[in-house]
A and B are shown apart, each in its own frame.
Chain A
Amino acid sequence: MSTLVFLEHHGSAIQKGALGVLSKAAQLDPDTAGVLIGSGVRDLAAQAGQYGAKTVYVADDAGLAAPLPQPRVDVIAALVRDEGFQNVLFGASVLASDIAGGLSARLDAGLNWDMNDLEMRDGQLVGRRSALGDTVRADVGWSAEPRLGLIRAGSFEAAQGGGEASVEDVPVSLEDFSTRAELVDHTQEESSGPSIEDADILVTGGRGLGGPEGFKPLEALAAALGGAVASTRAVVDSGWYPYPTQIGQTGKVVSPKVYIGFGVSGAIQHKVGMQTSQTIISVNTDPNAPIFEFSDLGVVGDLQSIVPQLIELVKARKG
């Protein structure tokens, strides 16, 4: 067997999620390699060796500087064809998901996503994932090679203990349509500010708040409960609340004792950032909101009436 792991990097570091997948892959398959794609990325290859890569393929090209998926599909597809990799694994991210989806179509290769575990069973790679809002566990496989897999963030510990990887340059040849999208601007978001990661109780506001003014009552509720206010990507995208309060794949991962979501639909993007909360309570007007599938207490109702009542009740209780 031979396995290739996409080593996503930002700046001068390989993503922790990718290194976790690399560590796991190296345990299952001693013949595991990594691929680094970008501009000026060769120096990162040594890191990958420490986490178990025997070989690191490096596609280093000025045209690959922007973190866009389609040129990366070109590079990985060529590598899989030339080297005959049987498995290609990714730590899930915005970029990795788009690459894996494109690669699946390019190679007509099966892609299993949102996996939280991998094992070898009778010589076959088997993945494990949750479905239907974590109410069902599914064991998933592939009927042909190459097998593609996206691993849910935080599933595997990035464990050192590897050695030195041999580094091999790969030629870069890009499809015309892969280079039509171009990155024209990137703004780094400051992640300083009040930390939602340390709070025991998180009162979270989503799109259902209707506007930035919806956060005022939530702040009062959080103050009464002794917690902090958190938000979702939709809310931050809309400019209603600041980025440092955002939970999710592209925000912070939190595990408070109590998570209370108001007007939060429970998109995958949000769920991966809060599903390990000890107790999850959600209030939403839509009975079909996905968040109810992984809530301990779900309330179908209007937050506009429930939040003020809850503030009064909590205040009365605390005296």
Chain B
Amino acid sequence: MIYKHDTSKPNGPLALSEGMRLHLEIARLSAYEMAEKIRKRELSVQEVVRAHVNLSNTVNADLNAFIHIGAEYAEKRAREIDAKLARGEVLSPLAGVPVAIKDNIATNFMPTTAASAILKGWTPPYNAHVSELMLDADMVVFGKTNLDEFAVGGSGVYSAYGPTSNPWSLHHSAGGSGSGSAAAVAAFCTPLALGSDTGGSVRQPASFTATVGAKPTYGAVSRFGLLAMASSLDHIGQCARNVLDAAILADVLYGHCAKDATSLDKEWESMQDAALAGKRAENAFSGLKIGVVRQYEADMVHPGVWDNFLLILQYMQDAGAQIIEVDAPSFLLSVATYYMLMSCELFSNLARYDGVRYGPRMGEELSAIHSMQKTRSLFGPEVKRRVLLGAHALASDNYTQCYAAAQRVRMLARQDYANAFEQVDVIVSPTAPVSAFSLDAAFSPAPPNPEEAYRADMLTIPANLAGVPAISIPSGFSEGLPLGVQIVAPFGLDREMFFVASMLENLIIDRLKINFDLFATAGKLTTTTAPKGASASDFPTGDKHTTASKDGDTPSK
């Protein structure tokens, strides 16, 4: 029941009926364009919202991207915002734009379940800080998106509501844990969505669905109201179809929040300005120092992924960027470190779900303690596995060699980033070592070897350990499935991340001569790998270790 994946679903990309295709005229707009048309009253908010809600309701049968779609609520909000516009009130840059929220972020106007049976039907009495900010910005929150239960997982299969399908191929996963947000954005159900990123849960699904997923500096966006998975690693991030949209949403979300003690008390520059500057920059790659991690080797990732990554490096070098190897030995330990720390915090964070104060209660006839125990059996298997791992690691006999040791490695990861950023402006890598997993085989009913699945997070995890900002943008396709490239910037330099990401986005679209529009591209990509024009051999591969100079300078061709 939990891992329901309908194999009778036709394989291949999501298809739309002619009637639904009409909605694309509005839904294909970027958030930036949509907001502008709303401001100029060329589109009413009601028209915009209806198009997205109809599309979402229809495609959700195929995608299972939404746990809740609040059509009536959205309609009412849209009317209110239209009325404000009619009165000539000055509204925020994203006024009237629809947005979906990952279902582990609290909304007091829609249920918030974290895709867990243990929170079935629960609506919080408060909004998350980010929900509040988006309401204040007159955005229309119209739905809650699917995820792995409590964001625990990397494939979306661990949802009590069943897995989400990848719009690019319905028999493939949309990644995880933010499967629903990424799929919804890719399928034009919404231009923007919120995700949470603890080990890559915004970026990896973005990579699998040819969308943009950004994770801020730790503390830039308030976590108040995010149902905690691992507090020290959790970040709320943006899902969009382009870098500029993600940046504009960042401007709504960034800022100090008194309700979150880990929130940074910092004035943030405009991310929109940074992204626009990147978009408009000519030749700004020259002089830019791009870091690649020496420890990442070709055999650690799928060949198609590595080829695509080398191609992107080639494009950047061609555009004048300097490619520099940086040393980050601790990154090879990051998966073990992450799973240790995350499990410990998860164990404790999920302890509160006991049926006493909210959510369904099991064993009502039993004593309080036994009822609590029975209620907790509602957790799914992967949550249980990691909670047990955390309980084991935190036991006083194991604390030193488990939790404490992992904390020390975490410090090393921070140090490795700090050292690297003395030499380079940003660090790039593939976002994930693979393209989207098949829902038919590997994850039914559960991965045979969890460690193997955990290793799929290896490229995204270091940024969570260090709290540095990171973004994934579409970089091409391998065997018809999307790939992503990740850009990591120094702590607090989110503007640099958006600037470079925006520039690179332009460069990739320009050089690949394709766009990442599902309905324009999908059918034509079934056998496409990286386009012609450049090959992996153009760029130094395995032997670069020996040819690279000591100071990490670019190896010569």
A, B in one complex? no
| B contact set with A: CB distance below 8 Å | none
